[in-house]
């Protein structure tokens, strides 16, 4: 095309793009920004590759999805199947097995055997071109035996056994001692079909460009998190009203409790020195009293900044001991990364250029005009982008060196996306095991973009999705629509979030939201204190009163047992541990129910992708009403359960309730009664039926 000399870059993609494959495959998925950013995939998690593929005319063709490992080797090659008849949209599922820079592409080829089999069957049955079709079949099988594909010099011949099968069929196709039907049968036998399936004759083969996938370790998609303020555990008030802070050592003593509930990650709010200038008091009071410890998000004091430990909490040796104890209990440690400073932060003195200086020479506070947040200096990432980038990278390295494997990033949406793009890219290369969770409660475009540039996990709108239909939609959105750019974490509450819904439903709503989070998303999280069903907001704010951000909150964990929540959390994590279907994101299905407050969904993993080698299916039926008895019917979508050929009348489903081991036999439409006083949910695993359970799935072939 008439390429302008002045800007050769602009049409480069067009000029350099290879021709389309001989049989086109377009609109590949998952592709982010045309392949300029990698899509997300996870070790041990099957995901779909899709393409729009079709050919001219009526001849048969095939499309195969090819997953390439970081060394460029073919890790998987799967025949794609039509998922939208008439629209030529094809799909295959694949699963990477180690982290790194993977990629995928699609190959298409003409399938002369399928074409011949169709045409020969039709024509010989109609008595048309009988001898010709038999001879053409014989020649085709000869060509297959020699591995002579049209326009594919790389094609190889099949093994000796397959060659013998083909050669025998060739003889019989040409053996005019038999009837045309008998001769045809030799060419279309299941044995021959088997040979072609194992070693197809791929004429006119073509391959699309490859598209990048960044594959993260399994914890990127699945984990149970528990959030703590380490200073609270073991804190106590002295008779004079002053406090003795909890420490990393006392917090260490709380780890067995957390681990015993089955959590995988313990998330620490910031552990750094806290400033005293404009320190906030209880309930965000503008001035702190002498006994107020300040918010751990007001980071930095003469004792150090983001790379230091608050002396009240202990030392790096204590931190190391904490991490070691956690690790011994099977817990990873996630640390808060809140890139903002108190006015006392050492950077303010050493690097005033990393902040914004006002016309009067002062450093700018955080503001939302006319409101001011005088305890916080936001960083300015544009005055010295290189200097600030290196400082942040270096402090992250400090914590990685001390055993932190996950960073929970506070408010990433208030920092430049490009800063994160660079940091995530460098971290994925230097430390592929380190994960980053984005705490961005903001509009969808920014949330998606943070995922696109590399955040491994994302907080979500889960806490604000409260009605049945919006929960159903959201479950589908995060598990299917955005799963290639954003891995969700469902938190019923956090130290910053206590929604209206949680204030009126009593313990029942805490149970409901915990079940929704633990079963609706492979990553879920609990903020400590949830066990007490603490449901009172600070007036005018969507967060808990007497917030742990501003004060010590030691808790009597024995007393929490009364709510039943600790036992529920433990059970939920145990069920998640037993069921790989619950630890993967993609394969979720919603089932219609007759009641506006009964929600039902299931997760399924077929045998070939299951770590146990067995298919796994879990059906959740949950009441959303913390106040009343609800009853209604569930219409199970059997194909979503991997039971598409199951006949609900003849062969009932055998279900085992994972909470209590009760067994049920269900058909395709079943009645439930749920209440806050008896049971709020069924969480049921699917067991054998007489119709070969989980034998097949429309999405994923076992």
- Contacts to a copy of itself from residues 420-449, by CB under 8 A: 421-422, 425, 428-429, 432, 443-446, 449
Residues 114-133 that bind a copy of itself (CB under 8 A): 118-119, 122-123, 125-126, 128, 131-132
Rank residues 31 and 700 by Cβ distance to a copy of itself and give the closer one. Answer: 31
Task: Provide the token pair at 32.
Answer: 């982010």
Token pair belonging to 530? 């949830």
Residues with Cβ within 8 Å of 312's Cβ and at least 6 positions away in sequence, in order, are: 231, 245, 247, 293
Q: Which of 564, 522, 519 is nearest to 685 (CA)?
A: 519
**Rounded distance between C-alpha atoms, residue 246 and residue 250, angstroms:** 6
- The CA distances from residue 208 to 53, 64, 235, 246, 702, in Å, are 11, 11, 61, 58, 26
CA 582 to chain centre: 11
C-alpha angle 624/630/635, rounded to 5°?
85
Judge whether 600 and 661 are in contact, CB under 8 Å: no
- Region near a copy of itself per CB under 8 A, out of 35-43, 592-600, 610-618, 633-641: 35-43
Closest to 636 in 3D by CA, of 665, 616, 663, 673: 665
* CB-nearer residue toward a copy of itself: 451 or 652: 451
* Smallest separation, CB 449 to a copy of itself (Å): 6
> Where do runs of H (alpha helix) occur along 360-457?
385-401, 417-430, 444-452
Query: Mask 132-171, x = binds a copy of itself (CB under 8 A)?
Result: x--xx--x----------xx--------------------
Q: Within 10 Å of residue 276's Cβ, how many Cβ atoms?
A: 15
Distance (Å, rounded) from C-alpha 504 to C-alpha 626?
9
Q: Which of 416, 592, 596, 698 binds a copy of itself (CB under 8 A)?
A: 416
CB of 36 to a copy of itself, least distance (A): 4
* Residue 336 DSSP one-character state: E
Interface positions, 348-367, toward a copy of itself (CB under 8 A): 358-360, 367
Distance CA 224, CA 615 (A): 23
Structure tokens belonging to residue 103: 């990629």
DSSP 232: T
Q: Which residues pair with 603 in a beta bridge?
A: 588, 618
Q: Which of 415, 549, 553, 591 binds a copy of itself (CB under 8 A)?
A: 415
Please identify which residue in 3, 167, 198, 614 interacts with a copy of itself, judged by CB under 8 A.
3
Catalytic residues: 410, 439
Using CB under 8 A, which of the segments 230-238, 368-376, 474-482, 670-678 binds a copy of itself?
Answer: 368-376
Query: For a copy of itself, which is the closer residue by CB, 380 or 503?
Result: 380
Name residues contacting a copy of itself, limited to 438-497 (CB under 8 A).
Answer: 443-446, 449, 452-453
Q: Which is nearer to a copy of itself, 209 or 647 (CB)?
A: 209
> Which lies closer to a copy of itself via its Cβ, residue 402 or residue 422?
422
Q: How far is CA 528 from CA 493, 497, 532, in A?
A: 9, 13, 9
Which range of residues in 24-32, 233-241, 543-551, 629-637 is near a copy of itself by CB under 8 A? 24-32
Q: Which of 147, 212, 506, 507: binder of a copy of itself (CB under 8 A)?
A: 212
Question: What is d(CA 491, CA 458) in angstroms, rounded to the nearest whole number?
Answer: 11
Residue 393 near a copy of itself by CB under 8 A = no
Q: Draw the binding track, 540-569, toward a copy of itself (x: CB under 8 A; -: no contact).
A: ------------------------------
Helices (H) and strands (E) in the chain, counts: 16, 32
Q: How far is the CB of 381 from a copy of itself (least distance, A)?
A: 9
Q: Which of residues 177-206 bind a copy of itself (CB under 8 A)?
A: 204
Q: Output 215 or 581, the one with its CB closest to a copy of itself.
A: 215
**Please, which of residues 250-279 interact with a copy of itself by CB under 8 A?**
none
Q: In angstroms, give the least distance from the CB of 492 to a copy of itself.
A: 24
Do residues 70 and 102 touch, judged by C-beta distance below 8 A? yes
Spell out, one character per residue from 44 to 73, where the chain touches a copy of itself: x when CB under 8 A holds, - when not: --------x-x-xxx---------x-xxxx
d(CA 80, CA 64) in angstroms, rounded, equals 5
- The CB-of-367 to a copy of itself minimum distance in angstroms stands at 8
Q: Are strands 47-53 and 243-244 parallel, antiparallel or unpaired?
A: unpaired
Spatial distance between the Cα atoms of 323 and 404, rounded to a whole number of angstroms? 8
Q: Which whole-number Å values give the CA distances from 396 to 301, 352, 434, in the listed order?
A: 19, 21, 10
Q: Pick one of 30, 38, 230, 346: the residue that binds a copy of itself (CB under 8 A).
A: 38
| Rounded CA separation 278/376 (Å) | 9
Shortest distance, position 29 Cβ to a copy of itself, whole Å: 12
87 versus 198: smaller Cβ distance to a copy of itself: 87
Angle at which helices 130-146 and 112-125 pack, to 10 degrees?
A: 160
Q: How far is the CB of 496 from a copy of itself (least distance, A)?
A: 18
| Of the candidate residues 7, 386, 556, 558, the single one contacting a copy of itself (CB under 8 A) | 7
285's tokens? 């009071």
Of 316 and 381, the one with the shorter C-beta distance to a copy of itself is 381
CB 642 within 8 A of CB 470: no
Largest CA distance in the chain: 110
SS3 at position 134? helix
- In the bound state with a copy of itself, the residue whose beta carbon lies nearer, of 114 and 244, is 114
Site for a copy of itself contains 1 (CB under 8 A): yes
Stretch that binds a copy of itself, among 8-16, 176-184, 567-575, 598-606 (CB under 8 A): 8-16
Q: Measured from the CB atom, is 103 or 602 closer to a copy of itself?
A: 103
Instruction: In angstroms, give the least distance from the CB of 450 to a copy of itself.
Output: 10
Strand duo 243-244 + 236-237: pairing: antiparallel
Q: Which residue in 190, 242, 368, 649 binds a copy of itself (CB under 8 A)? A: 368
Among 60, 157, 417, 578, binds a copy of itself (CB under 8 A): 417
Stretch in the footprint of a copy of itself (CB under 8 A) among 30-38, 40-48, 394-402, 655-663: 30-38
Q: Scanning residues 79 to 108, which ones bind a copy of itself (CB under 8 A)?
A: 86-89, 100-101, 103
Least distance between a copy of itself and beta carbon 4 (Å): 5
Smallest separation (angstroms) from a copy of itself to the CB of 460: 16
Which of 302, 304, 297 is closest to 376 using CA atoms? 297
Binder of a copy of itself out of 29, 185, 207, 210 (CB under 8 A) = 210
Closest CA to 204 of 152, 166, 254: 152
Out of 26, 164, 628, 688, the residue judged to bind a copy of itself by CB under 8 A: 26
Counting contacts by CB under 8 A, is residue 286 touching a copy of itself?
Answer: no
DSSP secondary-structure letter at 411?
A: -
Question: What letter would DSSP give residue 317?
Answer: H
How many chain residues interact with a copy of itself (CB under 8 A)?
92
Residue 432 CB, nearest approach to a copy of itself (Å): 7
DSSP string for 621-674: EEE--SSS-EEEEEE--GGGGTBTT--TTTSPEEEEETTT--EEEE-SEEEEEE
- In the bound state with a copy of itself, the residue whose beta carbon lies nearer, of 161 and 443, is 443
CB closer to a copy of itself, 135 vs 394: 135
In angstroms, what is the minimal distance from the CB of 54 to a copy of itself?
Answer: 5
- Smallest gap from Cβ 103 to a copy of itself, in A, equals 4
């Amino acid at each position: 095309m008439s390429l302008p000399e002045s800007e050769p870059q602009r049409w480069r993609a067009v000029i350099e793009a290879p021709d389309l494959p001989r049989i086109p495959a377009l609109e590949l998925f998952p592709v982010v920004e045309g392949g300029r950013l990698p899509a997300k995939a996870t070790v041990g998690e099957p995901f779909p590759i899709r393409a729009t593929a079709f050919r001219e005319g009526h001849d048969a063709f095939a499309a195969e999805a090819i997953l390439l490992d970081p060394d460029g080797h073919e890790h998987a090659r799967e025949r794609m199947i039509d998922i939208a008849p008439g629209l030529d949209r094809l799909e295959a599922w694949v699963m990477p097995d180690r982290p790194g820079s993977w990629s995928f592409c699609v190959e298409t080829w003409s399938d002369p055997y399928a074409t011949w089999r169709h045409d020969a069957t039709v024509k010989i049955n109609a008595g048309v071109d009988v001898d010709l079709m038999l001879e053409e079949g014989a020649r085709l099988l000869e060509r297959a035996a020699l591995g002579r594909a049209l326009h594919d010099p790389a094609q190889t011949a099949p093994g000796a056994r397959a060659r013998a099968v083909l050669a025998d069929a060739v003889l019989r196709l040409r053996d005019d001692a038999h009837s045309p039907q008998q001769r045809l049968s030799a060419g279309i036998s299941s044995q021959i079909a088997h040979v072609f399936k194992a070693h197809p004759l791929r004429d006119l083969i073509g391959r699309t460009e490859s598209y990048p996938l960044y594959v993260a370790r399994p914890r990127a998609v699945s984990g149970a998190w528990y959030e703590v303020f380490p200073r609270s555990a073991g804190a106590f008030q002295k008779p004079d009203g002053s406090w003795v802070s909890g420490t990393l050592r006392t917090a260490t003593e709380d780890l067995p409790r957390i681990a015993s509930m089955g959590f995988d990650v313990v998330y620490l709010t910031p552990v750094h020195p806290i400033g005293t200038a404009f320190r906030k008091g209880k309930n965000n009071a503008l001035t702190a009293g002498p006994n107020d410890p300040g918010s751990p998000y007001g980071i930095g004091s003469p004792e150090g900044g983001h790379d230091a430990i608050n002396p009240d909490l202990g030392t790096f040796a204590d931190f190391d001991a904490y991490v070691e104890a956690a690790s011994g209990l099977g817990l990873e440690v996630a640390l808060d990364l809140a890139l903002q400073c108190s006015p006392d932060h050492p950077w303010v003195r050493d690097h005033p250029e990393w902040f914004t200086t006002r016309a009067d020479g002062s450093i700018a506070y955080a503001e939302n005009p006319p409101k001011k947040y005088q305890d916080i200096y936001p960083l300015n990432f544009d005055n010295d982008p290189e200097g600030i980038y290196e400082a942040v990278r270096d402090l992250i390295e400090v914590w990685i060196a001390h055993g932190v494997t996950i960073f929970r990033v506070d408010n990433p949406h208030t920092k430049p996306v490009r800063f994160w793009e660079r940091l995530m890219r460098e971290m994925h290369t230097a430390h592929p095991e380190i994960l980053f969770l984005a705490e961005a409660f903001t509009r969808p475009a920014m949330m998606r973009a943070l995922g696109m540039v590399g955040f491994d996990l994302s907080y979500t709108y889960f806490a604000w999705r409260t009605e049945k239909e919006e929960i159903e939609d959201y479950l589908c959105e995060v598990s299917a629509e955005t799963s290639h750019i954003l891995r969700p974490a469902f938190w019923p509450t956090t130290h910053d979030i206590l929604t209206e819904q949680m204030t009126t439903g009593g313990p029942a709503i805490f149970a409901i939201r915990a079940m929704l989070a633990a079963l609706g998303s492979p990553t879920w999280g609990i903020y400590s204190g949830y066990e007490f069903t603490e449901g009172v907001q600070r007036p005018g704010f969507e967060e808990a009163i007497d917030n742990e951000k501003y004060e010590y909150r030691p808790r009597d964990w024995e007393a929490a047992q009364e709510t039943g929540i600790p036992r529920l959390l433990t059970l939920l994590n145990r069920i998640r541990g037993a069921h790989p279907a619950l630890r993967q994101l993609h394969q979720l299905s919603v089932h219609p129910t007759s009641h506006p407050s009964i929600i039902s969904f299931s997760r399924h993993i077929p045998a070939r992708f299951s770590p146990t080698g067995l298919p796994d299916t879990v059906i959740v039926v949950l009441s959303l009403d913390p106040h009343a008895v609800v009853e209604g019917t569930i219409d199970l979508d059997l194909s979503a359960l991997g039971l598409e050929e199951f006949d609900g009348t003849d062969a009932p489903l055998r279900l085992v309730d994972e909470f209590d081991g009760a067994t049920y036999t269900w058909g395709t439409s079943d009645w439930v009664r749920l209440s806050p006083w008896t049971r709020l949910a069924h969480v049921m695993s699917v067991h054998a039926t007489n119709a070969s359970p989980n034998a097949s799935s429309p999405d994923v072939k076992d």
